[in-house]
Amino acid sequence: MTGEKKKKKRLNRSILLAKKIIIKDGGSPQGIGEPSVYHAVVVIFLEFFAWGLLTTPMLTVLHQTFPQHTFLMNGLIHGVKGLLSFLSAPLIGALSDVWGRKSFLLLTVFFTCAPIPLMKISPWWYFAVISMSGVFAVTFSVIFAYVADITQEHERSTAYGLVSATFAASLVTSPAIGAYLSVAYGDTLVVILATAIALLDICFILVAVPESLPEKMRPASWGAPISWEQADPFASLRKVGQDSTVLLICITVFLSYLPEAGQYSSFFLYLRQVIDMEGVCKLRLIRGCCI
């Protein structure tokens, strides 16, 4: 077992060295500098910061659009989006192995943020597009693949932790800022600001993010076949049961995220609809949660 681990480490180092040599030889598309974890961090922060700003305006629009079934529709919208993301994530990950990470970062961020301006244009289309955007709302899958391309195995957990911490930081700060701006200047300004940040994120990917998967590391043809096992969302679930340690970790993560996801999706809606907390009181509570 020890010999196999050493061989794997040597192989990982060789692959990473080959990628660095290829990038220096000009095999990577344009971007600012060499691919780094910081490129991934900026993309994640801007995307989720834009969505976090909309926490308060979204509650207003959701209640106005579905006054009798606000909680039900909130659950359905997030449920459909999550289900579509689960089904599409393996396929998008497999395609990014062929076509590169940058193009799929652009695709996922664009379609994930596409519903934002629709909040003020057409609420019905806004919620419909949010649900359907789940097909492409898998930025994390592509980001983690991007990070894996540019880090060695022993560096990967630290890099993933940095990405996850950035995601949390964006969601901690943006709802409070969005709530303040909504109270002070109205929901329209918040939607415009969120749209501008989403556009900034897209421009950052186009201009600044270099490709982490060089041309020479990809299959010879863009039409390279992708097996069903690569695109099957249930394939990983079947493999989980083969290792008891991995199975226990997966169960722990699932049971941890299940209530957290439910709380996050309905907490602010509960404050608005059940407790009837408005304006300054809600803003103070959000500030307290962020601190």
pLDDT tens digits, 116-149? 999 888 888 988 888 888 888 888 889 988 998 8
Going by C-alpha positions, the residue among 172, 170, 183 that lies closest to residue 282 is 183
Average pLDDT over residues 261-270: 64
Paired tokens of 291: 């601190």
pLDDT at residue 23 in the model: 43
pLDDT for residue 193 is more than 90: yes
The residue count of the chain comes to: 291
pLDDT at residue 281 in the model: 47
pLDDT at residue 141 in the model: 86
What pTM value is reported for the model? 0.76
Average pLDDT over residues 235-261: 80
CA separation, residue 161 to residues 60, 112, 168 (Å): 34, 23, 10
Which of the two residues, 31 and 162, has the higher pLDDT score? 162
Domain 34-216+229-290 homologous superfamily, CATH = MFS general substrate transporter like domains (1.20.1250.20)
pLDDT at residue 26 in the model: 43
Q: Which of 31-40, 100-109, 199-208 has the lowest mean pLDDT?
A: 31-40
DSSP 205-217: HHHTPPPSS-GGG
pLDDT at residue 153 in the model: 82
pLDDT at residue 1 in the model: 47
- 57, 126 contact by CB (below 8 A): no
122 Cβ neighbours under 8 A, 6+ residues apart: none
62 Cβ neighbours under 8 A, 6+ residues apart: 70, 73, 74, 127, 269
